[in-house]
Amino acid sequence: MAVLIGVDFTSRPTRRKPVVLAMGERDGSRVVLRHLHQFDTLPGLARWLAQPGDWVGAFDLPFGLPRELALALGWPTDWLACARHYAGLSRAEIRARFAAFCAARPAGRKFAHRATDGPAGSSPSMKWVNPPVAWMLHAGVPLLIDAGVHLPGLHAGDPRRVALEAYPGLLARELIGRVSYKSDERARQTPKRTAARERMVAALQQGATRLELHLVLTSAQRAALVQDASGDSLDAVLCLMQAAWGARAHACGDAWYGLPTDLDPLEGWIVTALRGPQR
């Protein structure tokens, strides 16, 4: 069985808000959840990623910036050079440059988007608030580079450790539409959101998605996913399912793990997102 990981990432993990890594295996159309790991520091996650291994992982963080943005700012358009340039800037510098870029653009078109944003329904990777995915890219991509993992279509690395960009919201919308299922605020951790997580987990177990994969859980694991009101554990499992889809594509002969072969090599692509608008 193929080893899989799904990672719900945060750029500043703490004990209260850790990075959650779901580890599992694929056996045909069955995806078996084995463990949920937590990392309350980025160095802890970095050490795990750098270990020798054999896995396909899906990570909930953007892997690239919009080409339009890089061109406008005069940044490198080679992925590795751009990633290293971006990592070398402080958050204050990034915020100032992104804010100036947005200020010069008309209402409704403030942010530059990647080609994958429409099909995935994802936020622009340059967005620094609500959600601050720009900081996730800034903190997360250097970990992947330093760990020497392989990013199909973007960066050649260890072919035994493969990282794919994921977005759990893409699969969540397929399961329950735009119903809210999580919150970090205790006052918003309502029975309605708990019920939404219960429906999501049941649908994943039934294989009720276009991925045609069934999640296999113990009773204790199922309870843990439903009871985690932050949704972080469930998001890690959604990423795990996206990793399984990519791994299955590779097992069927697709060297790109289901990613489009004409993806922009600067921007990247979110695994399981299909060509065409899905917003």
pLDDT tens over the chain, length 279 residues: 679 999 999 999 999 999 999 999 999 999 999 999 999 999 999 999 999 999 999 999 999 999 999 999 999 999 999 999 999 999 999 999 999 999 999 998 999 999 999 999 999 999 999 999 999 999 999 999 999 999 999 999 999 999 999 999 999 999 999 999 999 998 999 999 999 999 999 999 999 999 999 999 999 999 999 999 999 999 999 999 999 999 999 999 999 999 999 999 999 999 999 975 443
How distant, in Å, are the alpha carbons of 118, 152, 170 from that of 270?
A: 11, 11, 9
CB-based contact 150:157 (threshold 8 Å): yes
Mean pLDDT of the chain: 96
Count of CB atoms situated within 10 Å of the CB of 128: 17
- DSSP 3-state of 180: coil
- Beta-bridged to residue 20, according to DSSP, are 8, 38
Return d(Cα 258, Cα 117) in angstroms, integer.
17
Long-range contacts of 199-206 (CB under 8 A, 24+ apart): 199/175, 200/172, 200/175, 200/176, 200/234, 201/225, 201/226, 201/234, 203/175, 203/176, 204/175, 204/237, 204/238, 204/241
Tens of pLDDT along 129-151? 999 999 999 999 999 999 999 99
